Amino acid sequence: MLARAPGATALYSGAMEIVDDLEALLKTEPHHPLTRLRLDSLRLATELDTAIPALLLALEKDGLKVEGSWRTRGRFADIHGVARPGNLMPATVSLGELRALSGHRVLVVGVSEVGEYDATSTAQALKELHHIEAEAEEVSIKELPVGASVTDLYGRRAPSLKARAPAIAFPPGFTGLPDGGFELLSAAPSPHGWRLQQAIGLGAVSADVTELQSAGGRVTAAQAADKTYRGDAFVLATGHHIGGGLLKENPVREPLLGLGVFRDGRSVAHAGTRLQHIEYLEPAQQFLAGVMTDERLHPLEESGGVRFENLYAAGAVLGGFDYAGPCGFGVPILTGWLAGRWAARDGR
Ligand SMILES: Cc1cc2nc3c(=O)[nH]c(=O)nc-3n(C[C@H](O)[C@H](O)[C@H](O)COP(=O)(O)OP(=O)(O)OC[C@H]3O[C@@H](n4cnc5c(N)ncnc54)[C@H](O)[C@@H]3O)c2cc1C
């Protein structure tokens, strides 16, 4: 795995969304990367049943315990008390599932030096929005500067508290939580994202790929500044605008191979100013544009054809889904799993 820097993965909130209603998605979203695989819901479910436990096992080996299943969806509060859905979440977050907290008294821990998070208003939001009995306790961590950020808490030991409660909500980043302690979800920059990034980054080589070389309809090597990485098969998992897999130019461009970029099944190269106008009115629309693949995850040219038989694409570089939506991690995990497997067969 070659990566030049952390991407969107390092910014996630702490609750991974896999898929909401798989049957409905296949029926109503023809350009969605999962629909384009042309697998029925039973086969997709079977792949997810294998891919997710394999991922959780791999993360645990790399020191990050993540829990949950793609078949169950919980709701978790972020540092402002706002609920977000999630299928998979770090073990340190799972105790804070909102339905499970109902009927319990929750203590919300505040750190007086941290300026961007206010435990009292989070406790109030838990009461008003989720009907959870919550109150705040402020602690002071003297070594922190005034106006410190939540990320300054990263890796510190959880402070000891005066009050006792069966459930204790901490801002994310602390280690050694007491019994009943759990972490809230974060806004970006995210301690949860940083831990995930560190776990998956353990096996990565730091390299900025500037070019993919090819010969005879096959990609042969990835060229970085100081080294050429040869391979029998390649997976393009370069992310969306944050990862750098797509450049926000007019029109949006895939920089390594000039692959086709599509929105609603049509090339953005010919969308004219209409697309710019739609994105101006609703910025989230730009997440829908991306690379499109055939049913074996080979990326398509602008003409709709496949140029390289040993190149696969996976994750947020794919268009047709909103990565801030219910498949935020579902598409990267499942397409990554399948692309990796198919690429490995190609390699043989
Ligand atoms: C702010 C934010 C919050 C989010 N929160 C959630 C959430 O709470 N729940 C959820 O389910 N989803 C969430 N998502 C969506 C989810 O994080 C992404 O869909 C997912 O992380 C994408 O993973 P990826 O591996 O495809 O891309 P990325 O994580 O972006 O990785 C792309 C990688 O490719 C590398 N790369 C790109 N080009 C090159 C090159 N030329 N050479 C070498 N390396 C290169 C980048 O350096 C990076 O390492 C969020 C997204 C954002 C932006």
- Of all protein residues, the one whose alpha carbon is nearest to atom 5 of ligand 1 is 12
- pLDDT at residue 347, rounded to an integer: 66
* C-alpha 164 to ligand 1 mean position (Å): 39
| Arithmetic mean of pLDDT over the chain | 94
Q: What does the alpha-carbon distance between residue 307 and residue 125 come to, in Å, rounded to a whole number?
A: 52
77 lines ligand 1 (CB under 6 A): no
User: With contact defined as beta carbons under 8 Å apart, do 72 and 53 qualify?
Assistant: no
* Contact indicator for 10, 19 with CB cutoff of 8 Å: no
- 91: burial class by Cβ within 10 Å (0-12, 13-18, 19+)? middle
User: What is the arithmetic mean of pLDDT over 99-111?
Assistant: 95
Structural domains in the chain plus CATH codes:
2-62+202-345 (3.50.50.60), 73-186 (no CATH)
E-strand stretches of the chain = 2-3, 66-68, 74-77, 83-86, 88-90, 105-111, 133-139, 167-170, 181-183, 205-206, 209-215, 218-224, 228-230, 234-236, 262-263, 266-267, 311-313
Work out the number of other CB atoms within 10 angstroms of the CB of residue 216.
Answer: 7
| Mean pLDDT within 65-69 | 97
Distance 242 CA to ligand 1 centre (A): 7
Nearest CA to ligand 1 atom 34: 238
> Do β-strands 228-230 and 218-224 pair in parallel, antiparallel, or remain unpaired?
antiparallel
pLDDT of residue 341: 96
The C-alpha atoms of residue 154 and residue 33 are separated, in whole angstroms, by: 35
For 186-194, what is the mean pLDDT?
A: 92
Q: What is the atom index within ligand 1 of the atom nearest the CA of 84?
A: 8
Please measure the distance between the N-terminal and C-terminal CA atoms of the chain and give it in whole angstroms.
Answer: 18
pLDDT value of position 275 = 73
pLDDT at 126 over 80: yes
Condensed to tens digits (0 to 9), the pLDDT of residues 309-342 reads 999 999 999 999 988 899 999 999 999 999 999 9
23-32, 186-195, 289-298: the lowest-pLDDT one: 186-195
User: With left for phi above 0 and alpha for psi between -120 and 50, is residue 81 left, alpha or beta?
Assistant: left
Average pLDDT over residues 184-212: 94
Pocket test for ligand 1, best of 229, 329, 337 (most atoms within 8 A of CB): 329
Ligand 1 pocket test target in 2, 11, 12 with most atoms within 8 Å of CB = 12
Q: What pLDDT is stored for residue 130 in this prediction?
A: 96
pLDDT at position 120 is 97
The number of beta carbons lying within 10 Å of the beta carbon of residue 13 is: 23
pLDDT digits (tens, 9 = 90+) for 236-293: 999 999 999 999 888 899 999 999 999 989 999 887 777 777 777 777 777 889 999 9
Q: Hey, whose CA ends up nearest to atom 52 of ligand 1?
A: 8
- Over 90: is that where the pLDDT of 79 sits? yes
Q: Are 318 and 291 in contact (CB under 8 A)?
A: yes
Across the strands, what pairs with 136? 108
* CA 76 – CA 22 distance, rounded (Å): 22
Angle between helix 191-201 and helix 41-61 axes, rounded to 10 deg: 90
Measured in whole angstroms, the distance separating CA 31 from the mean position of its chain's CA atoms is 20
Say how many C-beta atoms besides its own lie within 10 A of residue 142's C-beta: 5
β-partners of residue 88 are 16, 68
Query: Nearest to residue 195, comparing CAs of 2, 35, 14?
Result: 14
Of the pLDDT bands very low, low, confident and very high (cuts 50, 70, 90), residue 131 is very high
123 alpha carbon to ligand 1 midpoint, in Å?
Answer: 31
pTM: 0.95
